[in-house]
Amino acid sequence: MIDKRLLGQLDVKLVALVITLIAIGIINLYSATVNLAGVGLPFYQRQLWWLGIGVVIGLLVFLVDYHYFEEFAYPFYFLSLLCIVCVLIYGMVVGGAQRWIKIGLFTFQPSELMKIALIFVLAHHFAKYTGRDGYRLRDLLIPAIITIIPVGLIAKQPDLGTALVLFFVFLSTVIFVKIRFRSLLILLMVVILATPFFWAGLKDYQRTRILTFLNPNMDPLGAGYHIIQSKIAVGSGGIWGKGYLHGTQCKLQFLPEHHTDFVFAVLGEEWGFVGCGVVLALYLTLILWGLNTSVRAKDRYGALLAFGITAMLFFHVVVNVGMVLGIMPVVGLPLPFLSYGGSSIIVTLMGIGILLNVRARRYMF
C-alpha cells in the first residue's frame, strides 16, 4: 500500500514553497493577534497545533497511493454529507451561522471536508465516464446533482463562501474535462437564469454584503465597515509598509476579523505593496505548480485530482484577496496558510498532500 520509493520522488521545491507560506502565515498571525486577549493558548500557538495535525494527515495522504482514494470516494462523500446534515441539526451557532460541530474540546467544520470529498467524487466520475467528443449536458446530470446537494445544505447554514467554492470546483472541472461548446453555453444560460432565484434565497445580511461591496459608504458603520477598514489598512501600508508589529488598524481593533478572513489586510499594512507582491507571487507559483502537476499526471484520475485541488486553492486566494481589496463581495473565505482556522488548514494540507502524491507517482508503476 505504501511504496518506500515514494520519498525519493518527493517534490522538495513544492514542499519548500508551502513551508514558506506557512512561515509567513504564522509570523503574520502573531502580529495580528498579539494584542488579542483570549482564553487558553494564543491564536498563533493554536494554529501551530492545527498545523502539526495537518502535516501528519497530509503526510499520510501523500504516502497512500492516490488510486485508493477512488475506491472510497463515494463513502467519503456520503460521510461528509452526513456530517453537514448533523451540523444543521446539532451544530453550534456562532455569529448567526450554524457551521460547526463540537467534539470534546475541539470544534470542526464539516463543510471544509466536503471540498476534498467533492473533488474525489468528481475525479472518480469523470475518470470512469470519458466523453470522447466532449460531454453533453445530460452527461453532467449526476455530477451536477452530486454538487448541488452539498451546495444547498451548506448555503442553508449559511456559508455562502464554501458553497461558492464547491460550485466553482464543479464548473472548472467540467470545463477542464472538455464539455461541448453548445452544452457549455446552455449551462451558462441556466446559471444566469437561476441568478434571481439565488438572490431571493440569500439571507438579508448576505444581500447587504453584496450591495455594500458596490457602495461601501451606504452603510459605513455596518455591512460596509469591514471593506472600508480593510482598504484603509492596505492603503496605509504604502510601498514598504509600516513595519512588523506596527499596524495601527489591527492593533487598535479597527479592522474586524483581522486574524481570519482579513488577515491579508494585516500583511498589506505592515509589509506594504512589496510584501503583498511577494506573497501573491508565491501563491501564483503554487497555482502554476498545481496545474503543471495536473497536466503531467500519469493518468486521468490523477490529473483530475490535482486540477480540483488547484481550482479550490485558486478560488480561495482570488476571492479572499479580492474582498480584502474591496473588489469582491465579502463572503467569508479564509486565505490558505495565512488565515487562522483549524479545519481550513488541515483540509488545505490534505490538498497539498494530494498534489505531492500525484506528482511523485508520475514515474512510478
Q: What are the pLDDT digits (tens) for 37-48?
A: 655 578 889 999
For all residues of the chain together, what is the average pLDDT? 88
For residues 19 and 87, state if they share a domain.
Answer: no
For residues 118 and 150, state if they share a domain.
Answer: yes
89 has a pLDDT exceeding 80? yes
The mean pLDDT value for 61-77 works out to: 93
Model pLDDT for residues 173-223, shown as the tens digit of each residue: 998 998 888 888 888 888 888 888 877 777 777 777 777 766 776 777 776
Instruction: Choose between 362 and 324: higher pLDDT.
Output: 324
Domain annotation covers residue 28: yes
Domain annotation covers residue 34: yes
Domain annotation covers residue 207: no
Q: Which three cell numbers stand for residue 348?
A: 488545505
For residues 177 and 254, state if they share a domain.
Answer: no
Q: Among 104-113, 153-162, 200-209, 259-268, whose mean pLDDT is lowest?
A: 200-209
Q: What is the pLDDT of residue 126?
A: 94
Burial class of residue 157, CB neighbours in 10 A (0-12, 13-18, 19+): buried
For residues 11 and 139, state if they share a domain.
Answer: no
Domain annotation covers residue 209: no
For residues 144 and 220, state if they share a domain.
Answer: no
Domain annotation covers residue 211: no
For residues 190 and 300, state if they share a domain.
Answer: no
Rounded to whole angstroms, the Cα distance separating 60 from 85 reads 27
Q: What is the pLDDT of residue 365?
A: 54
Q: Which residues contact 151 (CB under 8 A, 6 or more apart)?
A: 163, 166, 167
For residues 57 and 77, state if they share a domain.
Answer: no
Domain residue limits at 109? 72-202
Of 174, 202, 230, which marks where a domain is finished?
202
Taking Cα atoms as reference points, which of 299, 245, 295, 291 lies closest to residue 270?
A: 245
Of 170, 202, 234, which marks where a domain is finished?
202
Q: Answer yes or no: are the C-beta atoms of 282 and 248 closer than 8 Å.
A: no
The three-state secondary structure class of 1 is coil
Q: Among 52-56, 193-197, 320-324, whose mean pLDDT is lowest?
A: 193-197
Q: What does pTM read for this prediction?
A: 0.92
For residues 160 and 297, state if they share a domain.
Answer: no
For residues 113 and 138, state if they share a domain.
Answer: yes
For residues 115 and 187, state if they share a domain.
Answer: yes
For residues 223 and 338, state if they share a domain.
Answer: yes
Domain annotation covers residue 114: yes
The mean pLDDT value for 148-163 works out to: 90
Of 202, 228, 262, which marks where a domain is finished?
202
* Dihedral sign (CA 77, 83, 88, 93): negative
Q: Which residues contact 288 (CB under 8 A, 6 or more apart)?
A: none
Domain annotation covers residue 136: yes
123 has a pLDDT exceeding 90? yes
- Centroid of chain to Cα 169: 10
Domain annotation covers residue 210: no
For residues 27 and 78, state if they share a domain.
Answer: no
The mean pLDDT value for 299-319 works out to: 97
Structural domains in the chain (count): 2
